[in-house]
Amino acid sequence: MDRILADPGVRIVVCCGSGGVGKTTTAAALALRAAERHGRRTVVLTIDPARRLAQSLGLTELDNTPRQVKGIEADESGGELHAMMLDMKRTFDEVVLAHTDPTRAAEIFANPFYQAMSSTFSGTQEYMAMEKLGQLHARGEWDLIVVDTPPSRSALDFLDAPARLSRFLDGRMLRLLLAPARAGGRSMFSLVTASFGMFSRVVQKVLGAQLLTDLSGFVAALDSMFGGFRQRAEQTYRILQARETAFLLVAAPEPDAVREAAYFAGRLGEERMPLAGLVLNRVHRTTAEGLSAERSRAAAEELERSGGFGAAADALRVHAALAEQATRERRVAAVFTDAYPAVPTVEVAAQPADVHDVDGLRTVGDALSQP
């Protein structure tokens, strides 16, 4: 991991995996280590609305603008650490402002369909995460950008968002909705009725006239921006395929998380995106590897029969349970490591408490960088 963080040719590290596996903590720990140990000017972009990252870095809040983290131990290395949290709607607004004139932007912002899409539509967060990554990369202000991908139902949503947007922009229904604006102002309903008769009445009845009007207005207002959306999505996708990017899969030793990581590894291979390694978080191990769970339980029973050493018997039972858990976790992790033996894997031991400060992030960073 230190080789990745120190490599000036690596400008982007993307931490991805299913929700609840420690992506945010991993991303923050890596960014902190890159700044403190390797002297890199680093920004970490989190998509986590729980604000754990801000708290662990000693910041009162994070927003859509990078904020420098003070008080880190980077005087000798010369590194800097900045942090930000994606604001999905604000990022969408910034895109609109950058690619339309003020009058058209005001029309778009006032449209109810835009207000819903920019705040709540499925896939918008993932696409805007890609958009923000492209913006940060284009500015060229940081040596390293560390991305904590959205806590989606599926980790693949992050990669699929640009393609889904392109399908939406190229869809037959979207072209139909654009037709009224391109037909010299003829109304949506007269055009549809003339073309489809009964179908239009059914659509209007199901969706409602106002929704169709809002949607048609939204599509017409964004018409001039569609090519830009697609172009930027394709540019960011190419960046993710480049050698300057390193993908890190993050998983806990649980069946669903490891299975998701394996699916993602396969997808990265298909898309020719550089997979740097697997981070296996919250791993349990025993310090007495030679003492099996069976021997430990047998010893505990023998101590109890002898009528003493109750505390020792309890400790042996705790050890037995931990040894069994470690065995289960190794079996689960093997689903990935057997399928992808060439992918480097680093294990991070389960921490006794949640990581909530910079010292905790340093501990995780040290564990991540073990050979």
Distance from the first to the final alpha carbon of the chain? 8
pLDDT of residue 63: 82
The band of 219, judged by pLDDT with boundaries at 50, 70 and 90, is low
Residue 186 pLDDT grade (very low, low, confident, very high; cuts 50, 70, 90): very low
Rounded-to-integer distance, Cα 22 and Cα 281, Å: 7
Confidence label for 144 from pLDDT (cuts 50, 70 and 90):
very high
| β strands within the chain, DSSP E | 12-16, 41-46, 67-68, 80-85, 144-148, 245-251, 275-283, 345-349
Q: Which residue has the higher pLDDT, 250 or 151?
A: 250
Measured CA to CA, the distance from residue 340 to residue 249 in angstroms comes to 12
Q: What are residue 291's phi and psi, to 5 degrees? A: -100, 105
CA distance 129 to 87: 9
pTM above 0.95, yes or no: no
Band (pLDDT 50/70/90 cuts) for residue 200 is very low
| pLDDT tens, position by position, 260-309 | 999 999 999 998 999 999 999 999 988 887 788 888 888 888 888 887 67
Cα(299)–Cα(5) distance, integer angstroms: 47
Paired residues of 93 in beta bridges: none
Using only C-alpha atoms, the chain has a radius of gyration, in whole angstroms, of: 26
pLDDT, mean over the chain? 81
Q: What are the residue ranges spanned by the domains of the chain?
A: 2-284+350-368, 293-330
Q: Stretch 29-53: mean pLDDT, rounded?
A: 88
pLDDT in tens, 314-363: 888 898 999 999 999 999 999 999 999 999 999 999 988 888 889 999 99
Distance CA 249, CA 239 (A): 18
What are the Cα distances from residue 339, in Å, to 259, 336, 344? Answer: 11, 5, 12
Which residue has 């939406």 as its token pair?
A: 168
According to DSSP, the residues that pair with 148 across neighbouring strands are 15
User: How confident is the model at residue 170, as a pLDDT?
Assistant: 57
- The CATH number for 2-284+350-368, chosen from 3.30.210.10, 3.40.50.300, 3.20.20.70, 3.30.420.40, is 3.40.50.300
Asked whether 9 and 243 are in contact (CB, 8 A), the reply is yes
Q: How confident is the model at residue 153 (pLDDT cuts 50, 70, 90)?
A: low
Query: Under 8 Å CB-to-CB from 292, ≥6 apart: which residues?
Result: 323
Strands ordered across the beta sheet of 41-46: 67-68, 80-85, 41-46, 144-148, 12-16, 245-251, 275-283, 345-349
Helix 188-196 and helix 198-207, axial crossing angle in degrees, nearest 10? 130
* pLDDT tens string 244-255: 999 999 999 999
